[in-house]
Homo-oligomer: A and B are copies of this chain.
Amino acid sequence: MVVRTGDNYLQSISNRSKVEIYVMGKEVKDVTKHPFLKPSVMSFKATFDAAWEEDTKELGRAWSPFLEEEVNRFNHIHRSPEDLAAKVKLLRKLSHKTGACFQRCVGWDSLNTLNIVTTMMASKGKKEIRDRFVEYLKYVQKNDLALAGAMTDAKGVRNLKPSQQPNKNAYLRITEVTKDGIYVSGAKANITGVAATEEMVVLPTRAMGPEDKDYAVAFALPTDSEGVKIVVGRQLNDARRMEEGEIDGLPYFYNHEGLVIFDNVFVPMNRVFLAGEWEYTGTLVEIFSAYHRQGYGGCKAGLGDVIIGASADLAKQIGVDRASHVQDKLTEMIFLTETMYSAGIAASLNAVKMCDTCWWVNPMHANVTKHLVARFPAQIAQLSIDLAGGAVGTAPSEWDLKNPKLKEYISRYLQGAEDFTAEDRLRMIRLVENVAMGVAFQIESVHGAGSPAAQRIMFSRLYDINFAQEVAKKLAGRKSEVKFTPKAEPWRDSQSEAEAKELKTKS
């Protein structure tokens, strides 16, 4: 079966024996049963279910020319601008189903990135690497695997290059190359959803020079490989999940990030995609980042919808939903949400063709998308807190509501309008608390796919400021050399393959 069901994934992920995962200092054997990780597993599961559920079935699948079969879209190589838009639309809908990050995009974007980069490599004589990748891609698609993408290194001192670090393993590095494969040591940090995946695709995190050759490494690996240790990170409000209540830790879906430690890990050669080819690292990072930045226009807009809905419901519960300032705040939340989505759609439909059947997002629009996402969620959250009322920081626990000595009081004093119960209010308050103030919306939005400063660097690079100056000089009646032919900006002007050449030849 090529398109798996959620249950099939659940069964598979439950049965890993060798995997080494730690949560709050203790080893976890079955991620599907652990209260901290289960919500995260359920989010992953939703990406499988989406391929079967009525409302997302069409978006959730795509036809793969590699298998000549339908695959889960999360392992699909984008073949058109419409494919890219389908990604954004699917992510928005999945946020509606989970209220959380469902964690399967990083792996997806890694596949698409390697697809372009290995195509470039093939055109420069590295056809065997291209072949390895295609083999791996088919394996992933055929088995509908849950992938993590592992990119961010520990990084040590930020203003030093990998090879300059006092800690030699601050960036993941190749310690030995044999004819069968490579050995790597180091760590990848902030790896989304990794404890709930079957495979990891590992990519370099920055552009490197020849001196950083040992750090120019990309490969794929089963998550339960020998020498791999996963330490799951803490998150705002995480300890609520350990209480195993049914209200205070809402929603039932969540996400997690892990520190992945590689302690002299062996990677067989047929899964190695970069091992020292530093000259591809810059392009690889740029391609990956843009893919991942585009996606936020979908998933964060979807979380925006959840928060808008919850805020509107809470306003109704206390009888203020018709107040003009409430309406105005909801409208502002809609505007902010739809702006993020618009940019994501533009990044998709105004795409760049990179090869016969592969399309990259528009990098300028994709960076706009992410930079909006780094700003607007905090504003949306603040508005939702405004609408939710002080109760979002003061409401009693579900255990109080269930205490027979308190139940009646709390039922009476937490209730607003008569159509709603105190439990209705409590549930919605907790949803706002955990989604609007949660890591996916507040922290991942800022740092995911690169911190705001990274997008600003891209704005300077992608924008042709010399052209803008020539335009201004001409309008000011000063001698100008502009003939109104700016440097090629394929992401702005066209969708043709020809114009994407410059990009491809950069590497």
Contact = CB atoms under 8 A, between A and B. Distances in A.
Interface in A369-420: 369, 371-372, 374-375, 378-379, 381-382, 385-386, 389-400, 402-403, 406, 409-410, 412-418
A30 to B, nearest CB: 19
A25 B400 contact: yes
Given A97-B484, A247-B477, A437-B236, A25 B399 contact: yes
A484 B55 contact: yes
Q: Give the interface centre of A239, A248, A367, A409 by most chain B CB atoms within 10 Å.
A: A239
B412 A463 contact: no
Contacts of A248: 234
Contacts of A257: 390, 393-394
A261 B484 contact: no
A414 B190 CA distance: 11
A309 B472 contact: yes
A415 B378 contact: no
Interface string A328-358: 1011001100110011011101100000000
Contacts of A54: 483-485
A463 B334 contact: yes
A10 interface: no
A199 interface: no
A35 to B, nearest CB: 12
A69 interface: no
Contact of A154 (B263, B413, B433, B470): B413
A240 interface: yes
A338 B437 contact: no
A246 to B, nearest CB: 7
A491 to B, nearest CB: 10
A119 B250 CA distance: 49
A378 B378 CA distance: 7
B460 A327 contact: yes
Contact of A24 (B189, B335, B400): B400
Given A349-B350, A385-B446, A460-B334, A312 B469 contact: yes
Nearest to A152: B390
Main secondary structure, interface of A, reads helix
A22 interface: yes
B402 A475 contact: no
Interface string A442-483: 111011100111011001100101011111110111100001
A406 B345 contact: no
A306 interface: yes
A130 interface: no
A309 B469 contact: yes
Given A234-B396, A413-B261, A342 B368 contact: yes
Given A390-B443, A392-B443, 16 more contacts: A22-B396, A25-B398, A55-B483, A81-B349, A96-B484, A97-B484, A156-B416, A157-B417, A167-B415, A187-B409, A246-B477, A251-B476, A342-B368, A378-B378, A386-B447, A424-B478
22 contacts: A25-B399, A156-B318, A156-B416, A166-B418, A234-B397, A236-B437, A251-B475, A258-B394, A261-B409, A305-B467, A306-B472, A307-B472, A308-B468, A312-B465, A316-B469, A334-B463, A335-B456, A342-B343, A342-B364, A393-B444, A428-B472, A431-B472
